[in-house]
Amino acid sequence: MASLVKLIEGKMKLKVNRTKSAVDRAWKLAFLGYSFTRDGRKTLAAKSCKRFKDKIRQLTRKGGRSLEQRLEGLNRYLQGWKNYFREIETCTEFEHFDCWIRRRLRSLLWYQWKRSPKRYKELRKQGISDKLTRQTVASGKGHWRMSRSPALHMALPNSWFDGLGLIRLLAA
């Protein structure tokens, strides 16, 4: 590193940002949001994953916006992110993110439905049986835990979100 800095700053008259610059094995470093595995495949850097999740949390947080408005902002962000990271050779992160985003949206909808009568009405409207609907509505679990319930998965399947126009990171 010292010899490279000497060359760049001395001979080329450029300034080296020492906090961003490093010399190491490719799989130990991140570059422009990408990282590399030991066998040379491109993958997401850990910092990129964290930043992605933080942004999705911000776009899907509770507040006074309709689902359509949220999906509009979410789709804009997902499309740009998907295009930037299209060179990724390990797609497990994309799969995980797709599932996680849909779970966040299910949780948000469960939270927005607030009271038992509204939850009951919405689940029945989606064709869920009376017995399963009553069991789900009577549950005292929080909205994040309920987002994994069978009733919500049947009422709000991935195809339902596809119908609303939500973009998938991993093409189905």
Find residue 30's DSSP bridge partners. 35
Q: Which pLDDT belongs to residue 13?
A: 83
Domain ranges of the chain: 1-31, 32-164
Q: What stretches of 14-156 show up as alpha helix (H) in DSSP?
A: 46-59, 67-84, 92-113, 116-125, 130-138, 143-146, 150-155
Under 8 Å between Cβ of 147 and 106? yes
Q: What is the pLDDT of residues 81-117, one digit of tens each?
A: 988 888 887 778 889 999 999 999 999 999 999 899 9
* Residue 20: pLDDT over 80: no
Burial class (CB in 10 A: 0-12, 13-18, 19+), 89: exposed
Q: What angle do CA 36, 37, 43 make, to 5 degrees?
A: 55
Q: Which pLDDT belongs to residue 26?
A: 62
The proportion of the chain whose per-residue pLDDT surpasses 70, expressed as a percent, equals 93
Mean pLDDT of 36-44: 79
* Residue 165: pLDDT over 80: yes
Stronger pLDDT, 88 or 32, i.e. the higher one? 88
CA dihedral 55, 56, 57, 62 (to 10 degrees): 120
Mean pLDDT of 134-141: 93
Q: Which pLDDT belongs to residue 39?
A: 80
Q: What is the pTM of this model?
A: 0.81
Find residue 44's DSSP bridge partners. 34
- Sort residue 37 into left (φ over 0), alpha (ψ -120 to 50) or beta: beta
CA distances from 136 to 38, 69, 161 (A): 46, 27, 21
Q: Which of 3-7, 58-62, 119-123 shows the highest mean pLDDT?
A: 119-123
